[in-house]
Amino acid sequence: MRIIVCGMGVVGQSFLKLLLASYTTLYKNYGIKPRVVACVDSKGITYSPTGLDLKKVLAIKEKSGSLLEYAGYKLNSRNYIEEIDAEVFLELTPTNLSNAEPGLSHIISALRSKKNVITVNKGPLALSFSSLIELADYNNVMFRFSGTVGGGTPVLEFAKHCLKGDKITSFTGILNGTTNYILTRMSDGLPFDEALRDAKEKGYAEANPSLDIEGDDAAAKLVIMANWIMGYKVTLRDVDKTGITNINPDEFSRAASSGKSIKLIAKCDKKELYVKPIPISKDDPIYVNGTLNAVTFRSEHSGEQTIIGKGAGGMETASSILRDLIEIKQNMTNYQLN
């Protein structure tokens, strides 16, 4: 199975490490012999049709080097996506919720050249979900994105595979770990600015935290879930979104007096699609603290189910890419049988 890895940040590097660690199991349990034929970072690309030495790639990246050091060549066009022969293209560049680039163009090129695509990049899905699914169908390839929601927690798989014969009618969740950490600290009495500073110090918030604290990251995940799980056709613009920057500290004490606390809640049902800070009972299964994420699904017959896990992390997210890779392999085998 020939793989192109585009994006060499924490998740890309974790994925290479996971491949190295899982090589034997992947072959034994799933018949997969992964061969990474190209790695791409912001400066250039390194390529070998017989498979790159992943340890060498990792050693270069760990000392913050450019892939050009590994007999690479500079990127002068996006044609490499179409020109390189591979079964799977991994799009792991950073999320951009303004115009989804460069991820969107990468994914379109890969699907058009009949490559199966796995991404953890929320931008292209939040802005162009339906057209990407259609493009994948049209080209008869698979498009998977488990890592976009929940990091390593299989939220999308749970909804798709674990409730067969039933119908999910709505879901409610805490979909962003950074804001959940900040709100947990604020619930302890810290003002917003101090809680944010603490989150930055612990590495939970980025230097520019606006995507998280304005609710955009949670809204992007909500859009992906609404499309994939509920079959809606919505984009980021359809979400009624409020961030956590303007919460009055009094709201925490008012909530506490009735056994609740403020959480940034994403909700999807027939009538509503929103992200906003609201009081949640401490007895509610989705009431989780720290950087945890949680989602409750409501379905017609099997009642309510909640799934809780860390919503981020390099190795955790890499494990979701591996799951997608295994699913693609298993479906490819079925395609061949039929």
What is the rounded CA–CA span in Å between residue 75 and residue 45? 6
| C-alpha dist (Å) from residue 278 to 23, 52, 254, 267, 308 | 45, 49, 12, 11, 19
Give the nearest distance from C-beta 11 to a copy of itself in angstroms: 13
Identify the active-site residue in 115, 221, 267, 329.
221
Give the residues lining the site for a copy of itself (CB under 8 A).
Answer: 18, 22, 25-26, 29-30, 152-154, 157-158, 161-167, 283, 285, 288-290, 292, 294, 299, 301-310, 313, 315-316, 318-320, 322-323, 325-327, 337-338
Cβ proximity to a copy of itself, 242 vs 289, nearer residue: 289
Is 221 catalytic? The answer is yes
**Burial degree of 10 (CB within 10 A; 0-12, 13-18, 19+):** middle
Residue 264, both tokens: 């940034």
Give the nearest distance from C-beta 3 to a copy of itself in angstroms: 14
Distant-in-sequence, close-in-space partners of 323: CB < 8 Å, separation ≥ 6: 146, 154, 157
Cβ proximity to a copy of itself, 154 vs 215, nearer residue: 154
For tokens 């020109």, the residue is: 83
Q: What backbone phi and psi angles, to 5 degrees, belong to 328? A: -60, -45
For tokens 């061949």, the residue is: 336
The 3-state DSSP class for residue 296 equals strand
Nearest to 36 by CA among 69, 58, 64: 58
Give the nearest distance from C-beta 290 to a copy of itself in angstroms: 8
Give the nearest distance from C-beta 297 to a copy of itself in angstroms: 9
Nearest to 32 by CA among 45, 19, 18: 19
For tokens 């799934």, the residue is: 307
The 3-state DSSP class for residue 306 equals strand
Give the nearest distance from C-beta 169 to a copy of itself in angstroms: 13
Residues taking part in catalysis: 221
